[in-house]
Amino acid sequence: MERLIGVDIGGTRTRVGAVLAGRILARRAFPTRGVPEVRAAIQEVLEEVGWARPDAIGVGAPAPLDMRQGRILHAPNLPHWNGVNVVEELGRAFACPVFLGNDANCAAVGELAYGWRAQDFLYVTWSTGIGGGIVAGGQVVWGATGQAGEIGHIPLRPDGPRCNCGKRGCLEALAGGAGLRARAQERLGLPLSAQELVERARRGEPGPLALVEEACAAMGQGLAIAAELLEPEMIILGGGFTASWDFLGPKVRAAFEDLSRVRPRLELTKLGDDVGLLGAAALPLHFPRF
Amino acid sequence: MERLIGVDIGGTRTRVGAVLAGRILARRAFPTRGVPEVRAAIQEVLEEVGWARPDAIGVGAPAPLDMRQGRILHAPNLPHWNGVNVVEELGRAFACPVFLGNDANCAAVGELAYGWRAQDFLYVTWSTGIGGGIVAGGQVVWGATGQAGEIGHIPLRPDGPRCNCGKRGCLEALAGGAGLRARAQERLGLPLSAQELVERARRGEPGPLALVEEACAAMGQGLAIAAELLEPEMIILGGGFTASWDFLGPKVRAAFEDLSRVRPRLELTKLGDDVGLLGAAALPLHFPRF
C-alpha cells in the first residue's frame, strides 16, 4: 500500500490529501459537510496526482465509531455523518479498502509512521476537547474495540464539573477548551473563548490566570497518570492549545514532574496541522486485526 | 522453551517451581533470603522432576529493577537482593538464559500464558502495595525500560497523603494495605492490620467502614482511569485484599461504574496464589526485545 488517501473530518473543517511515503502530494480543505463533498475532493486529488485509484483510504473522525464495521455512531457535532458507514460509502466509490479510526488515534499513527517515530509514546490532542492515542512497543494500543487512548475522559475529580460525556471531573472538563470557557463564564462572568482566556492569563489578569493554571495542573496530573501506567519514552502534544506552549508548557511540565517518577520527553507534534491528515492516510498501514 | 523454572521473590516468602505447559511439577517455598537459598531450591526441584537443566529461568521481584541488565536495583525490603545481578548469578549456576521482571508484570504474563488468556487486559495486585501489568493486543506493555503498569503510583490526589514512593496521593497511598494501616492509626488511633480493618468494616464499625469505603472508591477511580486509557476487555485482580472480594468487590465496582464508560469484566486471577510463580516461569516466553 503506497498510494494513500487521508481524510481528516474535523468539527468545522475537513481535509483530504493524496499521500505517498509521508508526503502530501495534493490536498483539499473545506467546511465539513457529508459524503458527497468528501467523494468529490478525493476525486480531485486523485486527478491532480494522476492516480487511477488509491491503494487504500484512511478516515479519521472526532466521534464515537465502530472500527470493525467502519461506521460513525452518535455524532451530534457531525450531523452529516451520523450513522454513516464510511467504509461502505467510500469503498464502493473508489473500489479500494477503506479504514475508519478515531482522530486522536489517527494522530498517534501519524507520529508513528511519519513524525517522531518513537516506539513507546502517548499522543495527546489538547483543544476544545482532549483526545489521545497510545503506542507501546511500536504497536498502536487500540483496546478491545478501538476505543483506547481516551485520556480526555480519565476521571480526576469524581466531584468535579460535569463533562460532555456525562461523567464528572474528567480531564477534558477540567482542561479542555469548552470546559475552560464554561468555567470563565461561571466564575468570572466573562464570555471568553479559550484563546482569549489564555491571552488574558498571559497578560497577568488574576482571574484568567488562576483558571489557566488550574487547567495546566490538571493536564500535568493527567499526563503523570498516563506516564506511570505506560512508561512512554515521549509524550507528544498537538491541538490548539499547543500554539501557546511557550506559556502553558512550563506550567504543565511543573505539575507533571511533581507527580510522575517517569521522565519522558514532552514534545509537540512533528507534523503540525497535518498530523490528523497524515495520520488518517497512515491508518491503513497500522489497522488492527480485531 | 518448555522446561521452565519460575522464581517468585516476595517480601516475606520466596517460591520456586518447575513448570511444564502451565503445570507446576515440583515446588519449594521458604522465607525470603538470597541467591544461595534460591539456587539450592532450583537444584532440588530439578532433581525432583528429573531435568538435567532447565530451558530457561524466569524471576519476578517486587523491586525497582533493570530488566535489560537483569539486575535488582534499590530494594530496601529485600536486603539480600540489593544490587544483585540475578541473570548473571543464576545463569552461571544453571547454564541457561535467565530473565528478570517486576512481580506484577510477571503476574500479567502468567494470566496471558496460563490464566484468563485475554488479549486486552489489566492485571492489578491489591495487597500491602498495589502493582499492575498491562496486556494490549496480546502483547505485554513493558514501557520504554520495563517500568510500565504502575497503577499503584498514579497520582489521584496531589494534596493527599504521602506515598512510599515519595509522591503524594498515589493510589497505593490511598488504597494499599500499608496506607490503610497508617490511616487507621492516624484517624482512629487503632494499631490495626489491613485485614483486621476490613473485618471490623464488615461488622459495621463506622470508623473502619469509612476508611475501607474510601479505599474502595480510590481503587474504583484508579481502575476507571486505566479503563478509559486502555479499553481492556477484562481487569483481573489478585493479592491479599481479593480474599475479601465478596465484601470489597461491590464497593469497588460501584465506584468504577460511576467513573468509567468502558465496561470490562472485573475478575479475580485464575491462578490463585500461584499467579506470581507461574508468571515468573512464563516470563521467558514473553520477554521484550529492548
Q: For chain A, say whether B224 makes contact (Cβ under 8 Å).
A: yes
| Residues of chain B found within 8 Å of residue A65, distances taken between Cβ atoms | none
pLDDT digit string (tens) for A53-71? 999 999 999 988 999 999 9
pLDDT digit string (tens) for A240-249? 999 999 999 9
CATH topology of domain B118-268: Nucleotidyltransferase; domain 5 (3.30.420)
Mark yes or no for CB contact A155/B259 under 8 Å: yes
Amino acid present at B287: F
At residue A285, the pLDDT reads 96
pLDDT digit string (tens) for B29-46? 999 999 999 999 999 999
Provide the chain B residues 227-266 that lie in CB contact (below 8 A) with chain A. Answer: 228-233, 255, 258-262, 264
C-beta of residue B221 within 8 angstroms of C-beta of residue A158: yes
Three-class SS string for B233-290?
Answer: CEEEEECHHHHHHHHHHHHHHHHHHHHCCCCCEEEECCCHHHHHHHHHHHHHHHCCCC
CATH 3.40.50.970 fits A4-107+273-286, yes or no: no
Length of chain B: 290
Q: Which three cell numbers stand for residue B18?
A: 518447575
pLDDT digit string (tens) for A115-142? 999 999 999 999 999 999 999 999 999 9
Q: Which three cell numbers stand for residue B78?
A: 529485600
* Mean pLDDT within A195-206: 97
At residue B290, the pLDDT reads 67
Banded pLDDT at B63 (limits 50, 70, 90) = confident
At residue B288, the pLDDT reads 87
How far does Cα B279 stand from its chain's mean position? Answer: 10
| Residues of chain B found within 8 Å of residue A232, distances taken between Cβ atoms | 143-144
* Mean pLDDT within A79-103: 96
| Residues of chain A found within 8 Å of residue B288, distances taken between Cβ atoms | 137
Cα torsion angle, B152, B158, B161, B164, sign: positive
At residue A290, the pLDDT reads 67
Give the domain ranges of chain A: 4-107+273-286, 117-268
Q: Which three cell numbers stand for residue B190?
A: 487503632
Model confidence at B200: pLDDT above 90: yes
Mean pLDDT of all residues belonging to chain B: 96
Among A245-249, B79-83, B150-154, B218-222, the minimum mean pLDDT is found in B79-83
* Mean pLDDT within B91-104: 96
At residue B282, the pLDDT reads 98
Model confidence at B72: pLDDT above 80: yes
Q: Which CATH architecture has domain A117-268?
A: 2-Layer Sandwich (3.30)
User: What is the percentage of chain A residues whose pLDDT exceeds 70?
Assistant: 100
pLDDT digit string (tens) for B73-96? 987 789 999 999 999 999 999 999
Compute the nearest-CA separation of A214 from chain B (Å): 12
* Mean pLDDT within B176-197: 95
* Mean pLDDT within B240-266: 97
DSSP classification of residue B21? T
C-beta of residue B254 within 8 angstroms of C-beta of residue B214: no
